[in-house]
Structure 1
Amino acid sequence: MSSVPILLVTANVGSIFEEPTEMLKLWTEEFLSKIASLDAKFIALHCQEVGGKKYEKSMKHVERFLLLLSSSPELQNFNKIRIFLDEDYTSVEHFTALGNLYFIHNSIHDAKIWDFKKSDFAQVADNKTFSGNIESVDTKEKSKFPQHFFPECKWSRKGFMRTRWSLCGTIFDLVNIHLFHDASNLVSMSSYPSVYSRNRQKALEHTLYKFHNDPLDNIPYFLFGDFNFRTDNEGVIKKLTNGLTKTRIQNTKNNDQTKLHFNNEENNLILSIGKKEFSHKDHERVFLDFEWLKKYDKEPEAFSNILSEYPINFIPSYPFEEKITKGTSYMPTRCPAWCDRVLFSHTAQKIIDEGHNHEYGLLGVKTCMGDHKPVFLRISLRANAGIVKCCDHALFVCLPVTCCCCRNFASVTINVVDMSINSNVSRSLTDANSIDSSLLHDRSATKGMLSHDPYTPESSNSRTPQPEEVDGEEVDEESWRSTVSPNELKSKLENIICKKSFPLIKQSSLEDEYLDLELLTTIRIDEARGRFSSSSGDSKSFNKDIDRISKRGNRKKNKRRFLKCCSLA
């Protein structure tokens, strides 16, 4: 066998558990019909919102969902199955509502799954389902996004679940991911990228950085799930409302009722936008004719140097009506967007057999599948490709020599606004290539906007209270500083990464109010090489800056420790 036909499907299934009597059967029939026509030998189904949005009440229906799949004639020849369902909603710090389902045809005799605890592959020769609390299951890796990403929000279910496979001698990762949604149209339209878009970018960067820098081999991976990628709503609205008159409709008793109306010269309402309303006069015609909308699908561009995707030639996957009789219509709640995607690393292109045709599209175009239409990619993988690594050197040893792989992942931009005592001063340790920190600290971005829902990241844009605001009492600077633990600061430093280039620290930007050397030196030396290299700078100037920022405490000791950490001593 020179190649293996595989099918990758991502499906946000939350809606189908809201009306399980009809929707579960309808959804599974459409899914099974499609996989039968695509004739794949390895099927990966990544689900989000398993058990529904009201999971406390509807999680009990998941068992029926599995029964409908496993008892179907279409899957009878798939005799090797691995199912991972994160259903324990009582575990606030772990629950993601993700489900990874894998079906392997009986013609495939060489299928192995990675054991993350034993660091070795285990043969897959039977059927196993892991459900409920799956934290102790070693053949998957699962994580929620760190809560400190969003310090003023409740835990979100958003996160990822990864499995690693060896299929007919070719090794790859399959990653299920669920990123944050847009809570308010009024906020998302105020600018691009919106605060929501930036939070999604931050979470995805965090995930990719983690995969690249963990102890495992860096191998090809396929990343498919509900990315919640949205269009540039600011640009879309400008196009849709060209020549129209805007009127703000405000309910003084409830800001949630604030709306924007766009009328033509005859005073006919063409577009109405509210927090959860996006309604065009010709809603279906405008968005089902999607070619014009593709230019506003910008969120994946930030990762074009890391991730690939086949051209999209299908209508936006979200938000569809959830009523069975209106399965082909969009809900007038959000601007339609390609939220659900199948992306893959550049190295994955090396194991895809392009000699066979691929197919990238929607499932259930004419059938109600819930508010998200599942998205699938059918490709063939080269057999016996082994391990295809993105680079052959150890981490950081090539820096700052050009390495596309390490330039994407190994360098980190320190965002000092996240660490500052005085948030009125905003200086960066890096040049203009650094990531904009305003999404976490700039209230003006959403000033006057609507209040925010729980389980969403948008409230993270407000500043941490200043010392004089804590408990109504004034707190001195040293006491305030001590409330930030070394682990918290280290975590912030490790999880902010740059997008495209390898920035060097600007020596003139080193300020004593932003850097605590005692905390800085807790970072591993090998990581510090990438973060704090000043090989292209003026060493005398650099030494002066270190002296200046080391004025508190033992200056020589701090300077020596800092230099050692940077491998410049």
Structure 2
Amino acid sequence: MGLPRMSFNLYFLHQSLTNVQIWDFQECRFQPVVGKDVHSGNIEKVTTKEKVKFPQEFFPECKWSRKGFMRTRWNLHGTTFDLINIHLFHDESNFIAMESFPSLYTKNRQGALEYTLNRLQNDKYDKVPYFIFGDFNFRLDTQAVVEKITRKAPPVHVKSAKNGDVTKVLFRHPKDENRVVLTVERKVFSVEDHEEAFFRNDGKWLQEHDKEPKLFKDRLFEFDIEFPPSYPYKEESSEARSYMRTRCPAWCDRILLSKSAKALVLMTPDESGKPPVIYQIMGTNVCMGDHKPVMLWFRLIQGTTVYRHKEQRSRSSTTCPTCCIL
């Protein structure tokens, strides 16, 4: 099932799983999952999903947008949870993105995500744990990143001879004016040692500037990031580990959990010693498009049921099913 352009949802259930149910949002009841269902094209009449398009005022600069979210609700071995695929607004201009934090684009994304979370909290359906994932388009504090890269070197503005608008901003090395450390245009973000700067130690130096998710720290949880920024990668097959010089690399693609969903994740290693949670990027050495998919693997605690908008949990002694979200 799809929402944004070139986006779709796929749900795979291992054949060993029994008593799997999916929620019908029209009938307000669970129905058993049997066989295989494929929904494509116009899916407006499919009642096992909720699809919401964001109101236009969240992104007034864009006259037409299909950004929004899609929700499905599942009952797996007695545990009820929502899976929510979301697509938020992107940064249109590097110039605007680097003016301040939060930028205009950050505020747009913040408003849309708040709208989503409030809707989940206040709609007519029972409140259940949820996993919300997709292209959040979260960007770094670009102004702070620029200052770190350039060591606060003064910018050199290049203006159009036609209308006087700034078309390019150059930052030169403080001890060698012939060296351009950073070039910024509306759709250009090019660092002198681009790959080294952003791949070094999986980009950990950038994490202090990854501020957008922190705006929701009281409502959403994320496992520690131990992978490089997921966007924007080159799309040539021979350039799988190279970033395009268009935007400041960022962790746009995320998997976040409600606080109640975090409680569903079994945090003890299995018998083989495998870590209880794996949160990582996929296709590190393979071209996957401009975004690298991100996955979250974990074991699900069984027996969480919702009664009258309140959760009740009884932990089953049977084997916990494994889940993987990407």
TM-score when normalising by structure 2: 0.88
1:346 aligns with 2:259: yes
The 2-side partners of 1:147 and 1:200 are apart by 12
Correspondences of 1:133-532 after superposition (within 5 Å): 133-151=42-60, 153-242=62-151, 244-253=153-162, 258-264=167-173, 265-267=175-177, 268-289=179-200, 290-356=203-269, 357-387=276-306
For residue 226 of structure 2, what is the amino acid of its counterpart? N
Q: How many angstroms apart in 2 are the aligned matches of 1:250 and 1:388?
A: 63
Distance 1:354 1:389, change over 3 A: farther
* Cα distance in 2, alignment partners of residues 114 and 360 from structure 1: 27
Would you say the 8 A contact 1:98–1:161 is kept in 2?
Answer: no
Residue pair 2:157, 2:166 contacting (<8 A) in 1 also: no
Q: In 2, distance between residues paired with 1:85 and 1:147?
A: 20
Q: Cα–Cα, structure 1 residues 244 and 141, in superposed 2: closer, same or farther, change >3 Å?
A: same
| Alpha-carbon offset, residue 336 of structure 1 | 0.5
Secondary structure of residue in 1 paired with 2:9: strand
In structure 2, relative to structure 1, the CA distance for the partners of 1:370 and 1:151 (3 Å cut) is closer
| CA displacement at 1:252 relative to structure 2 | 2.5
- Secondary structure of the residue aligned to 2:147 is helix
Name the CA distance, whole Å, in 1 between partners of 2:309 and 2:126. Answer: 9
Deviation at 1:98, TM superposition (A): 3.6
Inter-partner Cα distance in structure 2 for 1:256 and 1:105 = 57
User: 2:41 aligns to what?
Assistant: 132
Runs of 5+ unmatched residues, structure 1 = 1-83, 87-94, 393-569
Aligned to 1:85: 2
Amino acid at match of 2:278: E
Counterpart residue identity of residue 307, structure 1: L
Q: CA deviation at 1:152?
A: 5.5
Aligned-partner Cα distance in 2 for 1:173–1:133: 22
- Any gaps of 5 or more consecutive residues in structure 2? 270-275, 312-326
How far, CA to CA, are the matches of 1:141 and 1:220 in structure 2? 16
Tell me if structure 2 keeps the 8 A contact 1:179–1:226: yes
Alignment CA distance shift 1:367-1:200 (3 Å):
same
Cα distance in 1 for partners of 2:204, 2:307 equals 36
Q: Are the aligned partners of 1:347 and 1:389 in contact in 2 as well (CA < 8 Å)? A: no
Aligned equivalents of 1:305, 1:243: Cα separation in 2: 33
Q: Pick the structure with more helix per residue.
A: 1
Return the offset for 1:143: 1.1
Distance in 1 (CA, whole Å) between partners of 2:54 and 2:152 is 43
Contact 1:96/1:159 (8 A) holds in 2: no
Q: Deviations over 1:198-221 (max 9, x none)?
A: 000000000000010001011100
- Which residue is equivalent to 1:121? 30
- How far has the Cα of 1:253 moved from its partner? 2.6
- 1:243 Cα deviation (Å)? 5.2
Q: Match of 2:127, as an amino acid?
A: N
> Does the CA contact (< 8 Å) of 2:282 and 2:294 recur in 1?
yes
Cα 1:213–1:243 change in 2 (3 A) is closer
Partner SS state of residue 212, structure 1: helix
TM-score normalised by length of structure 1: 0.51
Contact 1:231 1:299 in 2 (8 A): yes
Name the amino acid aligned to 2:237. I
- Give 3-state SS (helix, strand or coil) of 2:198's partner: helix
- Answer whether contact 1:219 1:389 (CA < 8 A) is retained: no
Structure having the larger proportion of residues in strand? 2
Q: Which secondary structure state, in structure 2, belongs to the residue aligned with residue 211 of structure 1?
A: helix
Looking at structure 2, the residues matched to 127 and 337 of structure 1 have their Cα atoms a distance apart, in angstroms, of 36
Amino acid at match of 1:358: V
Cα offsets for 1:1-53 (capped at 9, x unmatched): xxxxxxxxxxxxxxxxxxxxxxxxxxxxxxxxxxxxxxxxxxxxxxxxxxxxx
Aligned partners of 2:309 and 2:144: how far apart in 1?
36
1:183 is displaced (CA, Å) by 0.5
Deviations 1:53-107 (A, max 9, x none): xxxxxxxxxxxxxxxxxxxxxxxxxxxxxxx235xxxxxxxx6654111010110
Please tell me whether the aligned partners of residues 171 and 220 of structure 1 are also in contact (alpha carbons under 8 angstroms).
yes
Identity %: 48
Q: Deviations over 1:101-145 (max 9, x none)?
A: 101011001111000000000100110100001001000000110
User: 3-state DSSP class of the match of 1:305?
Assistant: coil
Distance in 2 separating the partners of 1:359 and 1:103: 18
Q: Is the 8 A contact 1:177 1:226 kept in 2?
A: yes
CA drift at 1:182: 0.3
SS at match of 1:85: coil
Aligned mates of 2:230, 2:295 — CA distance in 1: 11
The alignment yields a C-alpha RMSD, in angstroms, of 1.8
- 1:204 is paired with a residue of what secondary structure? helix
